[in-house]
Amino acid sequence: MKDKLGRVAVLGIIFLIIFAVFVYRLVDLQIIEGAAYAEKSQSRVVTKTTVKAARGEILDRNCRPIVLNNKVFTAEFNMSLMKDLNGTIEKVITIFEGCGQAYQTDFPITVTKPYAFEASVFSSEKAFAEFKKFLESKKIDPNLSAEEIVSLLAKKYDISGYNDDMTAKIVSVRYAMEFHTVNRFYTFAEDISLSAATALKEHTGELPGVTVEELPVRIYSHDYFASHIIGTVGKIYAEEYEALEKKGYAPNDTVGKDGIEKVCEDVLRGTDGYRYAIQDITGNSTETVTSKDKDPQKGNDVILTLDMNMQLICEKSLPEIIASLRELNGEESASSGAAVFMEIETGEILSSASYPTYNLETFNKDYDILSKQQKASPYLNRVISGVFAPGSTYKMVTAVAGLETGVLSPSTTYSCPGRYTYYDDYQPTCFASTAHGRVNVMTALQKSCNGYFFDAARKMGIDTLDEYCYSLGFGTLTGIELPNEKPGLVASRAAREAKGLYWTDGETLLAGIGQSDHAVTPLQLCNYVATIARRGSRLEPHIIKSVRNNETGEIVSETQPKEVVHSNFSEKTVELVLRGMEMVTESGGSLYSSFSDYNLTSVAAKTGTAEVTNGLPNSLLVGVAPAEDPKIAFAVVIENGGAGSSATLAVLVKEVLTYYFAGKDSAETVHAPGTLLP
């Protein structure tokens, strides 16, 4: 009995202890720590926010910055969280207007009465067709007035209860959202002011689905600098997203659209980080939690082969050359051009300039205007995508082919009467029917004697000539790491027959002096003379020097010279051809007046004047320096430059060579040009 009472007593004591613990916890929860726990109970929502990583930088060969990053605010819509879409848009518009902040819309109707069609709708057939297609998809007659269209779209979007101007503004945003929304995300405005960003944040509770993001954006060290090479970045298009989603991209990410930005997207792209925010039931953030292993990781840097100062010299000189030739030959003459310089030993592009150009900083704002300038084509990279008849700059192909096949020798001469009379029914002439007298391969290059090269081409035949033409890099892509390169065209029997035409003996003559169907890019011309200097070793030109880890500075990868063709020309062939080109810059040559007082280095060059179907002939200049031991190759092309303009092109070449060989730092005095001549 005593044992039973003892067990009951023990159980009672245990019960009292447990009861006391519960009482203590209740007192602690409700009285001692009540306020603190009540506050925490309100913080019941944890949200995960992406922190966008900055892209890697783009630098020149000496690691001088070309493209950097800055941070800006953007206003983003997540439509999956927006229950009252029109009401939210109205509130955001009102906030923006109160801050004087613009927002994005490409609606082609004005948003204040009297409504009218924007001029851009009718200035482009494509724009008009797209708007017409949009209206028809909404079952709206495109022939209606602007006011009727706004009214019908307002009904389609269920917009009511607002004044006329606000209705039109909401319509304009809804219109833009139709084309620029990806996976329920839409960027309402980019690069907004601090006041607009602050105002939006202050109204967070009233604007579900509207967020302010701090995003890294591209900034550029120079306006208009290397725009065709660097390329643009932009938001992901709806049609791009399906493929990019598989690579881990978010709908509102920025990607490279062109140039190095596109080619090196995987390298430049960083890794996004995350931030965790604890919010109370009102939606206000009470705590932000970050983790070092979730910090954004900036992308790797891309180091280009470009020399910034050399590039600036070319970009400054091209519009000056064009302006001077216009003054000489009239406003309908020179309008565009390109210049490229290459390191012969490595195939590295030291500068590559195309004019007219455009400003990456204002690309979106300028696009509509510049894209309509079809003749100027400022978005065309003429160095790799502009194709031109090479004219007399091609004559080294004929010289090399003739010397290597034995058709020509150092002692082979031709007596030029000014007209080639081998055929009775076709007798082409030298320039202005000039009689050059007796010439050999070197003096024929110096005087640019058509007759000598007509005769050499006839003896070889077009098939042999084409064999050397291809080995020197014409008619094929160079392989440079840039999009939209053109292969050009080699004048050939096969190309003519593919068009249902016949190849004639007269075409062989013309092909031997760079006419007929030949079409080449400035980069091909530059690589061709560099290949001759390397005795037939053709390298793949490259513009990416290396990739660098942004944090450690370690070189991750480096581009090595890549040989694609090894023809192994004889030393004698190369010696004769380069000597003939050097004689172009000496007494009796067409560039003597330009180089007679230039003592910094010897130059082996060749001029060209290529006839075109419309306007003055194109002007070309190619070469290498020093002539006796070439280190650098170049090509300059001016469209419709006219005959006799070689001396003007030589000014650019001498300025670049002076910088290259004398090491003169032009950074303080050279500035990038504007976009277009008036």
- Per residue in 65-104, pLDDT (tens digit) is 999 998 888 898 988 888 899 999 999 999 999 999 988 7
Query: Which residues does 22 contact at the CB level (< 8 Å), separation at least 6?
Result: none
Position 371 pLDDT exceeds 60: yes
Phi, psi angles (nearest 5°) of residue 587: -55, 130
Query: Could you say which DSSP state residue 293 is in?
Result: G
Contact yes or no for 46/277 (Cβ under 8 A) = yes
In whole angstroms, give the CA distance from residue 60 to residue 383: 18
3-state secondary structure of 334: coil
Residue whose structure tokens are 């920025």: 254
Question: Domains in the chain, please, with CATH?
Answer: 77-209 (no CATH), 308-662 (3.40.710.10)
Contact yes or no for 381/388 (Cβ under 8 A) = no
In whole angstroms, give the CA distance from residue 385 to residue 381: 6
| Cα 2 from chain centroid (whole Å) | 97
Mean pLDDT of 35-59: 68
Cα–Cα distances (Å) from 443 to 530, 579, 584, 598, in that order, read 21, 9, 9, 21
What is the predicted pLDDT for the residue at 283?
A: 47
| Confidence bin at 676 (pLDDT 50/70/90) | very low
Contact yes or no for 362/675 (Cβ under 8 A) = no
What percent of the chain clears pLDDT 70, i.e. is strictly above it? 87
Cα–Cα distances (Å) from 326 to 390, 590, 635, in that order, read 22, 21, 21
Mean pLDDT of 373-391: 92
Q: Residue 541, preceding bond cis, omega within 30 degrees?
A: no
Q: Residue 626, preceding bond cis, omega within 30 degrees?
A: yes
Query: Could you say which DSSP state residue 656 is in?
Result: H
Contact yes or no for 182/251 (Cβ under 8 A) = yes
Phi, psi angles (nearest 5°) of residue 211: -130, 155
Mean pLDDT of 155-178: 93
| Confidence bin at 4 (pLDDT 50/70/90) | low
Least confident window among 24-38, 198-212, 248-262, 334-348: 24-38
| Cα 127 from chain centroid (whole Å) | 24
Mean pLDDT of 387-415: 97
Q: Which helix (H) or strand (E) holds 521?
A: none
| Confidence bin at 285 (pLDDT 50/70/90) | very low
What is the predicted pLDDT for the residue at 20?
A: 64
- Half-sphere exposure for 517 (CA within 13 Å, toward CB): 23
Q: State the average pLDDT for the chain.
A: 88
Position 235 pLDDT exceeds 90: no
| Confidence bin at 46 (pLDDT 50/70/90) | low
Does the pTM surpass 0.75? The reply is: yes
What is the predicted pLDDT for the residue at 39?
A: 54
**Residue bearing the bigger pLDDT, 669 or 499:** 499
Provide the residue type at 126 as one letter.
Answer: K
**Residue bearing the bigger pLDDT, 556 or 181:** 556
